[in-house]
Amino acid sequence: MRALWRIISGSFKWGWRLLNFIREFILNVFLVVLIIVAVGIYLQVRHTPLTSTKGALVMDLTGTVVDKPTMNNKVRQLGRELFGASSNRLQENSLFDTVDMLRQAKGDDNITGLVLSLKDFAGADQASLQYIGKALREFRDSGKPIYAVGDRYSQAQYFLASYANKIYLTPQGAVDLYGIATNNLYYKTLLDKLKVNSHIFRAGTYKSAVEPFLRDNMSDYAREADSRWVDQLWQHYLTAAAANRQITPQQLFPGAQAMLDGLRAVQGNTAQFALNNKWVDEVASRSAIDDALTKAFGWNKRDKTFNGISIYDYQSAPSSQQGGQIAVIFANGAIIDGPETPGSVGGATADQIRYARLDPDIKAIVFRVNSPGGSVTASELIRSELDAARAAGKPVVVSMGGVAASGGYWISTPANYIIASASTLTGSIGIFGMINTVESSLDAIGVHTDGVATSPLADVSMTKTLPSEFSQMMRLNVENGYHNFINLVAQSRHKTPEEVDKIGQGHVWIGSDAAQNGLVDQLGDFDDAVSKAAELAQLKQYQLNWYLNEPGLLDSLFTQTSASVYAVLPSVIQSWLPAQVTQVVDRLKMDVGLGLNWNDPQNRYAFCLSCEQMMR
């Protein structure tokens, strides 16, 4: 009886604890929602647009600029208030929202100038920087001054600062103009030591995405190909920035030795060196810069600074809703098979194209591609949907961002018209397959695999040597994929397969070369793509319908919370480890060879490894 009573009382006790947990969980959720609502109301009250007081728009970008942020602006602003600035370097800003606000401010009588405060700006691809630069030039040409303020300018920060009427630098500051480089990690020796066997099948002499698994260094073919577009990308940077500063590219960057000589002449004073080279207009203390900005924009007694409003607080005006609709659909990030994840392209993109095709109000599609490629299967799914939209009579214009290579070019082939930036990395027409097996690793520790199979093709396992028949089948499959790729390009670009093969073979082309090779129709930007879509659809008036998957409120809150936690945790962990170790770990985390979701059902990929680095 006593034992029975213990069982009953124990069950009651655990049941009561479960009820208490559920009650506390529900109350905590309710409290979190209440806090969100309260903070939302607070933000609405606090962050009001600049109305009666005139002043500057402060472009204080934090984090990166991307085509399609993983979090919407409202929730991001909420996160800034709730979690502070710890995750600012992880923040993503919409390229198109940034440009729209600059263009709105250009015509806003209450905005009398622009202040570029870019200390927390982590960068963007060069095509995006050029598009923002276009909006900055429009702002400056309207007669409103632009001032750049900084203690130190990174290369991306300086590119935007070069559009300013005046660039300020503090006395201990510097301008980091060094050039462009690509660096990949190579794992062959590591894989050999771990006794991991990498089975690689590739079509394309220059298809270097698999080299990290096959070599300990870059091949001559890859070095030749990458050297060309890296040099051209740097020349595009220098040409634009030098023109903004009204000097020659040689004056802007005289070379490493000349820079060393110049630094020696000023005893290593980097600020004076920047002034001597005409990189900046004035070296001044923060207080002197504040006085100059106060003189230009007036004094704000409440905030104890010059009159201005952050780009994050500036209210964008609603766009006019007239004319036919042009759908804007994004392919931003690596292409993966199955559901889409933040920062990648998946099945949701194909669904959006289908919805646009079936929507009678959509008259044309602008397909914005900023992707280094990925799964061949997923790329073909997206391509076929885009082809169906064109077949349905809806013009398709591809607007290429910083990267539209390999699978990114595959999904661009159905377009009526392709527009790329001069700095876009595209092409990389090639395919590879990759399967890693660990039978040697297991053998070394005394673990072995054995069994029976009805055919060699069924006996495929990562714990066994790949059957010869399966390897031959994989090679045929990859070669067939490459054959399909060049035929798709040949058909869409009105070339023969032999002509495409000559400019294919996995070769990466920069936009200006791609235009000469006939891989794109025109050099331009997103504005040109929208104008072309309106022209093809015969629309005199139009409105843009942005196809964006907005996450739910709770999903966004959890995402912001996770970002903040990840921003804090590394600093704690790094305090336990030597700095060199943490730097290597960070590099490994960035390496796309380890980070890509290799989930193609046929193990076939059209991916550009070097191109992906330019998206960071």
Give Rg (Cα) of the chain: 27
Q: Who has greater pLDDT, 59 or 198?
A: 59
Q: Which residue has the higher pLDDT, 272 or 599?
A: 272
Q: What is the pTM of this model?
A: 0.84
Q: How confident is the model at residue 113 (pLDDT cuts 50, 70, 90)?
A: very high
Contact of 112 with 54, CB cutoff 8 Å: yes
Phi-psi sector, 428: left (phi>0), alpha (psi -120 to 50), beta: left
406 is catalytic: yes
* pLDDT on residue 3: 58
Give dist(CA 430, CA 225) in Å, integer. 14
Beta-strand relationship, 508-510 and 373-375: unpaired
Annotated active-site residue 207? The verdict is yes
Q: What is residue 568's predicted lDDT score, i.e. its pLDDT? A: 41
Q: For residue range 229-245, list pLDDT tens digits in order.
A: 999 999 999 999 999 99
CA distance 132 to 114: 13
pLDDT digits (tens, 9 = 90+) for 190-219: 888 989 888 888 876 666 777 888 889 988
Answer with the residue of higher pLDDT: 478 or 554.
478
Q: Residue 400 and residue 402: Cα distance in Å, rounded? A: 7
In this predicted model, what pLDDT tens digit does every residue of 268-315 receive, in sequence order?
999 999 999 999 999 999 999 999 999 999 998 888 899 999 999 998
For residue 513, give the amino acid letter.
D
Q: Which of 2-11, 40-49, 288-297, 471-480 has the highest mean pLDDT?
A: 288-297
The pLDDT of residue 48? 47
Question: Which residue out of 68, 106, 144, 207 is catalytically annotated?
Answer: 207
Chain centroid, CA 26 distance in Å: 37
d(CA 286, CA 168): 9
What are the structure tokens assigned to 447, written together?
A: 């673990």
Ranges 394-403, 454-463, 541-550, most confident: 394-403
Residue 467 burial class via C-beta count within 10 angstroms: exposed 0-12, middle 13-18, buried 19 and up? middle
Mean residue pLDDT of the chain comes to 84
DSSP 445-497: TT-------SSGGG---TTSPPPHHHHHHHHHHHHHHHHHHHHHHHHHHT--H
Report the SS3 class of residue 571: helix
Q: How many residues belong to the chain?
A: 616
CA distance 604 to 361: 37
Question: Which tens digit of pLDDT belongs to each residue from 545-571?
Answer: 999 865 544 445 444 444 444 444 444
d(CA 511, CA 520) in angstroms, rounded, equals: 8
Q: Return the structure tokens found at 486.
A: 């060049």
> Would you say the C-alpha torsion 244, 246, 249, 253 has a positive or negative sign?
negative
- Spot the catalytic one: 94, 406, 423, 564: 406
pLDDT value at position 319? Answer: 66
